[in-house]
A and B are shown apart, each in its own frame.
Chain A
Amino acid sequence: MLKSLLSSAVAATLCTSAALAADPVKIGMITTLSGPAGYLGQDIRDGFQLAIDLEGGKLGDVPVEVLVEDDALKPGSGRQIADRFLNDEGVKLFTGIVFSNVAGATVPEILDAGAIFVSPNAGPSEFAGKGCHKNYFVLSWLTDTMQGSAGRNASDLGYKNAFVLAPNYQAGKDAITGFKRYFDGEIAGEIYTRLDQTDFAAEMAQIKAANPDVVFQFQPGGLGIAFLRQYQQAGLLGSIPMVIAEPSMDHAILKAVGDAAEGLNVSGAWNVDLDNDTNRAFVASFEEAYGRAPTMYAAQGYDTALAIASALKETGGDVDDTEAFRAAMLATGFDTTRGSFSFGKNQHPVQDWYAMQVVRDDAGKLALKTRKQLMAAHGDPFAADCDL
């Protein structure tokens, strides 16, 4: 009896130390890889992987193993994957989620199990205020603030009344609330479109009839491409200017939209031309590794990996002690592609926001050029409600 107990104790000790030495830290990446929005998850994954590859398979000197699964933009499958990662794989550290509806179903599951979630993109407002959590970190932005930056941009450009459109789901509503929060003028009209809607002819007719100073629209991924092209085809592009936030005009959309994008006013927290060392290095190595220009999602994936790397380095790869991990994260001992970056009280970013414009570069190709800084070290309005 005693002997078997001893030997199992010895075996257990051996196992643990062997585990520490050899087993890489498992990172569960639940992201959207299929469907029209698949390129968002693909860029997050590739940006994240780039940071690991540059460190030779490690993050913060700790070997890591990334388990990638596609949630297909379905909240239900996000949750199932989280369950499987938690129970079968023993994953303690999660990232990857692109869409706030998937995050809404999946993140509570992860946090309730005592694991950590570091978001490279999804930032629903309900987790930023009262619903904030000590093991939940956001490296991207809140939809409210991101789309709100377009409102600030519209005011900055001197527009007095705006027509706003967004799909009828959580992020769409956050977008319109955010725009109104930062826009000083009046709202000439407000339309919620369907999330699966690709033809906006009816909405174009309404915009034309309302004849506002400026149009603000939030249509993520492929929807945005369709919207912009139809905006041009309806002859509105020349007559009514448009402000949008970067998710509606990332570098992939820009390429697909082509000439219809020229002159558009965009706002966001990251751009390829941001002048800091981390960003220059990131853009160069991303283009070399994948042969395409990075989008903001790739930059966020990369930043997420850098943040995790700094925390893993501090804790020596221990993700079970969530308090130590949290302290290391909040110390923000990492650089990001966005330059200045810190966490607010609710563990969401405090960062700079920029006004950008689509212009032709010297080679005659359309590019997103940073015009000026809109807001410096800006947090979000929900942090005040957070009790952390």
Chain B
Amino acid sequence: MTLFLEQLLNGMQLGVTLFLLAAGLTLIFGIMGVINLAHGSIYMIGAYAGTYVAATTGSFLLGIPAGLAAAALTGIAVEFLVVRQLYDRDHLDQVLATFGLILIFNQAITMIFGRQPLFVGLPEALSGSVELLPGLFYPLYRLAIIAVGLLVAVGLYLLINRTRVGMLVRAGSTNREMVRALGVDIRLLYTAVFALGALLAGLAGYMAGPILAVQVGMGEQILITTFVVVVIGGVGSVKGAFYASLLLGVTDTALRAYLPGLLRQVMVGPEADALGAGISSMGIYLLMAIVLLIRPKGLFAGST
């Protein structure tokens, strides 16, 4: 039972990390109609900038503003210099341009930091484990990630549903032309949304730093999964991205943890392990296929 709860927490932690990335991606895709493959690179830049500052100064807290600022500024620069030219072009052009950005960012990071992964330790205050239930020890840092992810989710909910900016964002994702016709500076709004998305990606990257290896190409690994989240949740829906991230995180973790064991009941050990690993790595894509069969526009596509 404690093992199951621990796996559930692991799933949630993966889920909220995905959410931080997917929220930005779905906003950018839903509101501006831009497919931004470079979102993963911004995640990487946030991780590198934050981790570098944290490793140099020895302070985990100082890394936070550094990572966030680097990611947001990169986001603004990307929007201003590249994506802005592409709003009226078709998706293929956007994919090509942002794919080019991935290559450029990866190479630039390699030139600045080299190929060796960066290292930063856990912040001292968060390095231990806590006993949540008798016998259930869980690393404090992972709990902190879950907490930050949920806080961001609440914050985004309030921002989008309770503020004027949020109203414009919602309006923009429903009917872009009408918002423009009403005299709203849509270009400024676009830049702001892009920067916000980049900021969240940078946050996800920096928080992943002490757990994962901060290395070139780390963004592409998670980008595909993030796109799956966006598609399952419904393009443009932050609420959808939230539920889809958690669903995906928990499903993925549960398949990894339990499928080989279940298969071992019906077949020989090594084959069950290999087949289980195979199916669990397909799991999220199967989930996406099933969701799309039932709801072709995603779980929460109502808002668009």
Which of B3, B114, B141, B217 has the most chain A CB atoms inside 10 A of its CB?
B217
Size range of the chain B interface in the assembly: 35 or more
Question: Would you call B177 an interface residue if the criterion is a C-beta within 8 Å of the partner chain's C-beta atoms?
Answer: no
Question: Would you call A191 an interface residue if the criterion is a C-beta within 8 Å of the partner chain's C-beta atoms?
Answer: yes
Which of A168, A230, A233, A258 has the most chain B CB atoms inside 10 A of its CB?
A233
Tell whether, in the assembled complex, residue A198 and residue B213 are in contact, meaning their CB atoms are under 8 Å apart: yes
Chain A residue at smallest Cβ distance from B272: A190
Q: A199-B14, A233-B211 are in contact. Are A258 and B256 (CB under 8 A)?
A: no
Question: Pick the contact of A222 from B139, B141, B215, B269 — CB < 8 Å?
Answer: B215
Question: Would you call A256 an interface residue if the criterion is a C-beta within 8 Å of the partner chain's C-beta atoms?
Answer: yes
- Complex: how many Å from CA A262 to CA B217? 28
Tell whether, in the assembled complex, residue B260 and residue A191 are in contact, meaning their CB atoms are under 8 Å apart: yes
Q: Which residues of chain B come closer than 8 Å to A209, judged between CB atoms?
A: 3
Shortest beta-carbon distance from B214 to chain A in Å: 9
Tell whether, in the assembled complex, residue B277 and residue A256 are in contact, meaning their CB atoms are under 8 Å apart: no
Chain A residue at smallest Cβ distance from B142: A201
Q: Which residues of chain A come closer than 8 Å to B101, judged between CB atoms?
A: none
Question: Would you call B265 an interface residue if the criterion is a C-beta within 8 Å of the partner chain's C-beta atoms?
Answer: no
Q: Which residues of chain B come closer than 8 Å to A233, judged between CB atoms?
A: 122, 127, 139, 141-142, 210-211
- Complex: how many Å from CA A198 to CA B10? 13
Q: Which residues of chain A come closer than 8 Å to B277, judged between CB atoms?
A: 168, 191-194
Number of A-B contacts (CB under 8 A): 107
Q: A190-B273, A256-B116 are in contact. Are A198 and B221 (CB under 8 A)?
A: yes
Chain B residue at smallest Cβ distance from A230: B211
Shortest beta-carbon distance from A144 to chain B in Å: 15
Interface flags, B44-83, vs A, CB<8A=1, else 0 = 0000000000000000000000000000000000000000
Question: Would you call B281 an interface residue if the criterion is a C-beta within 8 Å of the partner chain's C-beta atoms?
Answer: yes
Q: Which residues of chain B come closer than 8 Å to A206, judged between CB atoms?
A: 3, 257
Q: Which residues of chain A come closer than 8 Å to B137, judged between CB atoms?
A: 235
Tell whether, in the assembled complex, residue B117 and residue A36 are in contact, meaning their CB atoms are under 8 Å apart: yes
Tell whether, in the assembled complex, residue B253 and residue A201 are in contact, meaning their CB atoms are under 8 Å apart: yes
Question: Would you call A378 an interface residue if the criterion is a C-beta within 8 Å of the partner chain's C-beta atoms?
Answer: no
Question: Would you call A147 an interface residue if the criterion is a C-beta within 8 Å of the partner chain's C-beta atoms?
Answer: no
Interface flags, B140-151, vs A, CB<8A=1, else 0 = 011000000000
Tell whether, in the assembled complex, residue B115 and residue A258 are in contact, meaning their CB atoms are under 8 Å apart: no
Question: Would you call B99 an interface residue if the criterion is a C-beta within 8 Å of the partner chain's C-beta atoms?
Answer: no
Tell whether, in the assembled complex, residue A256 and residue B115 are in contact, meaning their CB atoms are under 8 Å apart: no
Question: Pick the contact of A235 from B119, B129, B260 — CB < 8 Å?
Answer: B129
Tell whether, in the assembled complex, residue B110 and residue A38 are in contact, meaning their CB atoms are under 8 Å apart: yes
Shortest beta-carbon distance from A73 to chain B in Å: 10
Tell whether, in the assembled complex, residue B211 and residue A199 are in contact, meaning their CB atoms are under 8 Å apart: yes
- Complex: how many Å from CA A279 to CA B13? 46
Tell whether, in the assembled complex, residue A202 and residue B253 are in contact, meaning their CB atoms are under 8 Å apart: yes
Which of B10, B110, B127, B277 has the most chain A CB atoms inside 10 A of its CB?
B277
Q: How many residues belonging to A are interface residues under a CB distance threshold of 8 Å?
A: 36
Residues of A206-227 whose CB lies within 8 A of B: 206, 209, 222-223, 225-226
Q: Which residues of chain A come closer than 8 Å to B115, judged between CB atoms?
A: 38-39, 42
Q: Which residues of chain B come closer than 8 Å to A173, judged between CB atoms?
A: 274
Interface flags, B262-274, vs A, CB<8A=1, else 0 = 0000000110011
Question: Pick the contact of A234 from B117, B139, B217, B269 — CB < 8 Å?
Answer: B139
Chain B residue at smallest Cβ distance from A41: B115
Interface flags, A4-43, vs B, CB<8A=1, else 0 = 0000000000000000000000000000001110110010
Tell whether, in the assembled complex, residue A229 and residue B211 are in contact, meaning their CB atoms are under 8 Å apart: yes
Question: Would you call A58 an interface residue if the criterion is a C-beta within 8 Å of the partner chain's C-beta atoms?
Answer: no
Question: Would you call B38 an interface residue if the criterion is a C-beta within 8 Å of the partner chain's C-beta atoms?
Answer: no
Shortest beta-carbon distance from A34 to chain B in Å: 7
Shortest beta-carbon distance from A208 to chain B in Å: 8
- Complex: how many Å from CA A360 to CA B121? 19
Question: Would you call B171 an interface residue if the criterion is a C-beta within 8 Å of the partner chain's C-beta atoms?
Answer: no
Q: Which residues of chain A come closer than 8 Å to B253, judged between CB atoms?
A: 201-202
- Complex: how many Å from CA A196 to CA B219? 11
Question: Would you call B90 an interface residue if the criterion is a C-beta within 8 Å of the partner chain's C-beta atoms?
Answer: no
Shortest beta-carbon distance from A237 to chain B in Å: 12
- Complex: how many Å from CA A257 to CA B142? 19
Tell whether, in the assembled complex, residue B121 and residue A36 are in contact, meaning their CB atoms are under 8 Å apart: no
Q: Which residues of chain B come closer than 8 Å to A192, judged between CB atoms?
A: 260, 273-274, 276-277
Question: Pick the contact of B119 from A36, A190, A223, A257 — CB < 8 Å?
Answer: A257
Interface flags, A120-136, vs B, CB<8A=1, else 0 = 00000000000000000
Question: Would you call A359 an interface residue if the criterion is a C-beta within 8 Å of the partner chain's C-beta atoms?
Answer: no
Shortest beta-carbon distance from A286 to chain B in Å: 15
Shortest beta-carbon distance from A205 to chain B in Å: 5
Question: Would you call B278 an interface residue if the criterion is a C-beta within 8 Å of the partner chain's C-beta atoms?
Answer: yes
Q: Which residues of chain B come closer than 8 Å to A39, judged between CB atoms?
A: 114-116
Question: Pick the contact of A168 from B211, B215, B257, B281 — CB < 8 Å?
Answer: B281
Shortest beta-carbon distance from A234 to chain B in Å: 6
Residues of A230-264 whose CB lies within 8 A of B: 230, 233-235, 252, 255-258
Residues of A68-83 whose CB lies within 8 A of B: none
Q: Which residues of chain B come closer than 8 Å to A168, judged between CB atoms?
A: 274, 277-278, 281
Question: Would you call B218 an interface residue if the criterion is a C-beta within 8 Å of the partner chain's C-beta atoms?
Answer: yes
Residues of B208-240 whose CB lies within 8 A of A: 210-213, 215-218, 221
Tell whether, in the assembled complex, residue A225 and residue B117 are in contact, meaning their CB atoms are under 8 Å apart: yes
Residues of B159-211 whose CB lies within 8 A of A: 210-211
A residues near B (Cβ < 8 Å) are 34-36, 38-39, 42, 168, 173, 190-194, 196, 198-199, 201-203, 205-206, 209, 222-223, 225-226, 229-230, 233-235, 252, 255-258
20 A-B pairs whose Cβ atoms sit less than 8 Å apart in the complex? A34-B106, A38-B110, A42-B115, A168-B274, A173-B274, A192-B274, A192-B276, A192-B277, A193-B277, A198-B218, A201-B10, A201-B14, A201-B142, A202-B11, A203-B256, A229-B213, A233-B210, A235-B129, A255-B116, A258-B121
Known A-B contacts: A233-B127, A233-B211, A258-B121. Give 9 more (CB < 8 A).
Answer: A34-B110, A36-B216, A38-B115, A190-B273, A199-B211, A201-B10, A205-B10, A223-B213, A234-B139
